[in-house]
Amino acid sequence: MKERCFAGGEAVKRTEERIREMVKVLPPELQHEVEDFVQFLLEKRARKPKGKFKFDWEGALEDLRDQYTSVELQHKALEWWGD
């Protein structure tokens, strides 16, 4: 399936037809898997972004600025996550 698919184009129609033909020859249980996968793709596509990333944690380590360099803080964070 190397051809590009543009909405409304002949390439889309050919792709749809190829998919139909492939699904027809599958046993019923695999046809159901294809249906499940298509449903998953539709749901994945419909998911909305959760919003902008918040920096409400910004400055939380400010009191450690004089004790550690940024690299040391990165290492400390890895240690803390491992606990």
Q: For residue range 15-40, what is the model confidence (pLDDT) as tens digits?
A: 999 999 999 999 999 999 999 999 99
Domain extents for the chain?
10-46
Residue 11: strand, helix, or coil: helix
Q: Tell me how far CA of residue 3 lies from CA of 10, 11, 33, 42, 59, in angstroms.
A: 10, 7, 25, 22, 50
* Residue 53 burial (10 A CB sphere; 0-12, 13-18, 19+): exposed
Tokens representing 81 are 């996550």
| Claim: this prediction has a pTM higher than 0.95 | no
Mean pLDDT (whole number) for 40-69? 82
Tokens representing 12 are 């889309």
